[in-house]
């Protein structure tokens, strides 16, 4: 499996995404909403399958550009999971954000081990989820 990573979304179109993103979400965003979300991010790293030329994983960050950054999403298409793509996406994003004082993300408890291996640690937090808005429409 040959995966290359890119840090820009220039020229990216809905047809460039492999099927399978947002699997299991009750109201997944459309790929047009997905593109809008990536465009609104401070930083993006994409994993692209060189054979199919489709995006098979991504991570994005929101940031004030000075002290803080937040990683809202990390996704790898299920058929590509287990190949280190997620770890590489996080590694590359943390490299981009290394000058920030704080880099935060929220994850489900069962994913804490994944982020622990990358050097992140658990912290308390609060959240609000408006699932009716999850599709981004």
Look at residues 114, 94, 101 and name the one whose alpha carbon lies nearest to residue 45: 94
Sequence-distant (≥ 6) Cβ neighbours of residue 106 within 8 angstroms: 125, 127
- The total of structural domains in the chain comes to 1
CATH number at residue 38: 3.40.630.30
In a domain, 137, yes or no: no
Instruction: Give the model's pLDDT for residue 130.
Output: 85
Which residue segment(s) compose the domain that 64 sits in? 3-120
pTM: 0.92
Q: Are 55 and 46 in contact (CB under 8 A)?
A: yes
Instruction: Give the model's pLDDT for residue 10.
Output: 94
In a domain, 95, yes or no: yes
Q: Are 17 and 38 in contact (CB under 8 A)?
A: no
In a domain, 132, yes or no: no
Please tell me the least confidently modeled range out of 15-19, 20-24, 85-89, 128-132.
Answer: 128-132
In a domain, 126, yes or no: no
């Amino acid at each position: 499996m040959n995966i290359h990573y890119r840090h820009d979304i220039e020229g990216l179109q809905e047809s460039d995404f492999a099927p399978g993103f947002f699997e299991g979400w009750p109201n997944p965003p459309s790929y047009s909403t997905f593109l809008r979300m990536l465009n609104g991010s401070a930083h993006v790293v994409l994993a692209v399958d060189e054979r199919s030329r489709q995006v098979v994983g991504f991570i994005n960050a929101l940031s004030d550009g000075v002290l803080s950054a937040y990683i809202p999403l990390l996704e790898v298409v299920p058929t590509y999971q287990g190949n280190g793509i997620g770890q590489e996406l996080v590694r590359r994003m943390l490299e981009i954000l290394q000058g920030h004082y704080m880099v935060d993300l929220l994850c489900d408890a069962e994913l804490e081990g994944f982020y622990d291996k990358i050097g992140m640690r658990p912290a308390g937090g609060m959240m609000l989820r408006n699932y009716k808005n999850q599709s981004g429409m």
